[in-house]
A and B are shown apart, each in its own frame.
Chain A
Amino acid sequence: MESLHELHGRRGRIITDQDAREISRVEELSYDLKISEVMTSNVKTVSPEMPMNTVLEILRVNRISGVPVLENDQLAGILSIEDLVRCMEKNELHLPVRQYMSQKIVSVNAYDPVVKAIETFSKERKGRLPVIDEAGKLVGIITKGDITRGILNALQRDYHEEELRRYRASHLFEDITSDRTSLILRYNIKARDYLNGGQASSHIKRALLRLGATPQLARQCGIAIYEAEMNLIIHTTNGGIIRVQIEPHRILMQTTDDGPGIEDVQKALTPGWSTASQEVRDMGFGAGMGLVNIQRCVDRMELESTPGKGTKLVMEIILRPEERFKETDDSESAP
């Protein structure tokens, strides 16, 4: 379960960190990919008047097991290896294709999603399906093998993109030399924006994973930020700002807002104490556990507040040696 949090698919859609990710991504891809993207477009065709022994030769040379039959550029039928076997049993290889081709054509449209072809395959028990365009003209042929290949290629592209992102991000601290490098992420949080609650924390969690943080560290930061983010949404007058400063040896997270401020900071830190309204409690917030949860996740938490002025919450995680982000190796230049 502790793989990367989420990654953007080839069409900018988001895929997530479940173990089943690749499998459900395959399902998603079968809706996402068009038949035209996976089909074979360079199709061998035959004419209805062609003798069957010529077709036998075409199938043998091209190592295929069926061909569409075209008459005046229109799809007139399909001839499969089964038809050829029937013909050979009767010793009629001199007869034209027309005698043996199947005229009951099941085709799919080039602009349909791949899932349409999968459904047709399971319904029709065919080995291949001719693909036609909007004008009904044959533009390709699709087999189950084409689908498998197409989806594997798309998955490969996805994987490669995320690898690239991870690679670029994870070398940030190594690639930039300074006496002290830090990366600052800033998020503006709107008051009462429950719909987007958790968005900033989920982005921060993903950023940390890309930078090479351990899943445990990313989760810890995600939880601390989530609680702080919800506090800004639930309690502030005008929303607030989340600022995350990532350094090789520590993560400093801070939220600031301009009011209303907390009357009694000590009370606010008491487990179970909350000022949340009934409306907010009905949504499951206001358990009075937010700040307690944060304390559990971070090494240092400081809450400063002035009623009427605003609140500042500082959270710091000091990274253990094995958690630290890799930095430029100075040992070579050292005396």
Chain B
Amino acid sequence: MNLQEIVHQLNLTVVTQPKPLETIHPTGGYASDLLSCVIAGAKPGNLWLTIQAHVNIIAVASLNELAAVIITENASPDPSVIEKANEQGVTLLVAGETTYQLAGKLWEMGIR
């Protein structure tokens, strides 16, 4: 399942600049709002579900080479955060649902 299909099926909003999402195939997922846990637990190519929307999530996503960050419950990142994400090539997606709901759906879709 590629990122474009995930964005479509889960009705996510892509807030960073357009890129060919269909070429990105997430290797799994990780859900946490604690950055150090993400650093320890998320694997390269994973999707990261969090309600955090501040600038430090970009460094964590970039260092860990994550496929994308899904910001849940419509928490909206500042323009400066989006700019930083574009600069670092990090994909930011925003979802209306909770982390729990999304994780469940992603699991059902086969992202495990």
Contacts and interface: CB of A to CB of B under 8 A. Distances in A.
A284 B56 contact: yes
A1 B23 contact: no
Interface stretch (B5-13, B14-22, B95-103): B14-22
Given A287-B35, A293-B39, A1 B52 contact: no
A27 interface: yes
A226 B62 CA distance: 11
Interface string A10-31: 0001111111110110010000
Interface in B49-67: 50, 52, 54-60, 62-65
A150 interface: no
Contacts of A289: 34, 36-37, 39-40
B63 A223 contact: yes
A318 interface: no
Nearest to B89: A16
Contacts of A195: 55, 80
A199 B80 CA distance: 15
B1 interface: no
B77 interface: no
A202 B80 CA distance: 18
Contact of A20 (B20, B34, B90): B20
B89 to A, nearest CB: 3
Interface string A21-53: 101100100000000000000000000000000
Given A1-B65, A2-B65, A226 B39 contact: yes
A4 to B, nearest CB: 11
B33 interface: yes
B109 interface: no
A1 B88 contact: no
A1 B65 CA distance: 7
Given A19-B24, A284-B52, A284-B57, A24 B39 contact: no
Given A226-B39, A290-B36, A198 B60 contact: yes
A235 interface: no
A20 B87 CA distance: 14
Nearest to B35: A284
B60 A24 contact: no
A283 B35 CA distance: 8
A292 interface: yes
A67 B5 CA distance: 44
Contact of B36 (A27, A219, A293): A293
A17 B43 CA distance: 16
B63 to A, nearest CB: 5
A160 interface: no
Interface in B68-112: 80, 87-90
A205 interface: yes
Given A21-B89, A289-B40, 14 more contacts: A2-B65, A19-B23, A24-B89, A198-B58, A198-B62, A201-B59, A205-B63, A226-B60, A226-B63, A284-B35, A284-B50, A287-B37, A290-B36, A293-B36
